[in-house]
């Protein structure tokens, strides 16, 4: 381990100056196609549902807690209804290192509640935190002329493949003990393509929740943000050129002084040096 650390430190000092300082895609590669037309249509349908919604639950990927959040959601949804931010897939990050930094970032920017979940493992403590936060928000904010109704209704929103449907299923199992899926969930983006019918997730008080399709921001002009979304599998693979994705990953690792790919690919054992050329890396691996 010590030899490996010395290797990485020395490598960082020797080769950092040779690495690219910015990432570029060929001019003809248009990543704006990642925003299908149905997404804008579904966003309008979400807005139409707001009249009957008491709470908006935003689900995002904890690996990219800031990158990729759709600003249109804030303008059209959060500014009108109470909002909870749930960062899912927290098992894929170093919580001891990043949890407080992420919370501080959002609390400084006015977000009232930030929660971390792993809906695959369905950890009871995390799901109970979501339940408690939902109840507090619902019972302590105005109901917008819906005081005559004894039931509550929430809406889950977010970009594709962050775990919106999984959160609904997990909450339903956690609170009602029903293991059968209420909404379809999958390991790829785009499983939910339209605003769904509401699902009952709690009895006391009665709470219903609406699942919605993932909606990417149409204004992703930042190449690096778009690449991070693709690396986390939040964009349909058919829309992504894997060669450029691998090239961005190499760029990011080198910029982060993380040369662990040398050992992972068996390049370090060959006494080869880090490279900023994806073709060199692919050739060494093959």
Residue numbers in the known binding site are 88-91, 161-166, 214
Six-digit token string for 102: 């992420």
Cβ atoms of 212 and 195 closer than 8 Å: yes
Cβ atoms of 209 and 182 closer than 8 Å: no
Annotated binding-site members for GTP: 88-91, 161-166, 214
Nearest to 47 by CA among 133, 157, 135, 148: 157
Residue 234: how many other CB atoms lie within 10 Å: 24
- Say if strands 198-202 and 207-210 run parallel, antiparallel, or are unpaired: antiparallel
Nearest to 254 by CA among 6, 7, 11: 11
Six-digit token string for 230: 């693709």
Q: In the beta sheet, which residues pair with residue 153? A: 208
The terminus-to-terminus CA distance of the chain in angstroms comes to: 26
Q: What is the Cα–Cα distance from 161 to 234, expressed in whole angstroms?
A: 5
- Say if strands 55-61 and 152-157 run parallel, antiparallel, or are unpaired: parallel
């Amino acid at each position: 381990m010590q030899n490996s650390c010395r290797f990485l430190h020395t490598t960082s000092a020797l080769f950092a100056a040779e690495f690219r300082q910015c990432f570029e895609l060929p001019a003809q590669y248009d990543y704006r196609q990642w925003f299908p037309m149905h997404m804008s249509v579904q966003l309008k349908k979400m807005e139409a549902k707001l009249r009957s919604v008491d709470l908006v639950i935003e689900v995002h990927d904890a690996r990219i807690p800031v990158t990729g959040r759709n600003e249109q959601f804030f303008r059209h949804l959060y500014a009108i209804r109470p909002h909870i931010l749930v960062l899912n897939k927290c098992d894929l990050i170093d919580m001891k290192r990043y949890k407080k930094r992420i919370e501080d970032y959002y609390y400084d920017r006015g977000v009232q509640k930030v929660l971390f979940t792993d809906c695959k493992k369905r950890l009871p403590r995390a799901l109970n935190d979501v339940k408690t936060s939902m109840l507090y928000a619902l019972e302590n904010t105005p109901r917008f002329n819906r005081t005559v109704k004894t039931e509550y209704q929430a809406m889950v929103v977010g970009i594709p493949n962050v775990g919106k449907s999984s959160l609904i299923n997990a909450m339903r199992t956690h609170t009602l003990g029903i293991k059968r899926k209420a909404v379809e969930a999958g390991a790829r983006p785009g499983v939910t393509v339209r605003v769904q019918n509401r699902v009952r997730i709690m009895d006391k008080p009665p709470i219903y929740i609406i699942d919605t399709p993932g909606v990417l921001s149409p204004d992703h002009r930042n190449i690096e943000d778009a690449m991070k979304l693709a690396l986390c599998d939040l964009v349909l693979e058919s829309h992504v050129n894997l060669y450029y994705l691998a090239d961005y990953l190499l760029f990011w690792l080198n910029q982060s002084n993380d040369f662990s790919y040398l050992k992972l690919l068996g390049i370090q054992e060959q006494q080869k040096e880090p490279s900023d050329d994806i073709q060199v890396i692919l050739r060494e691996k093959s």
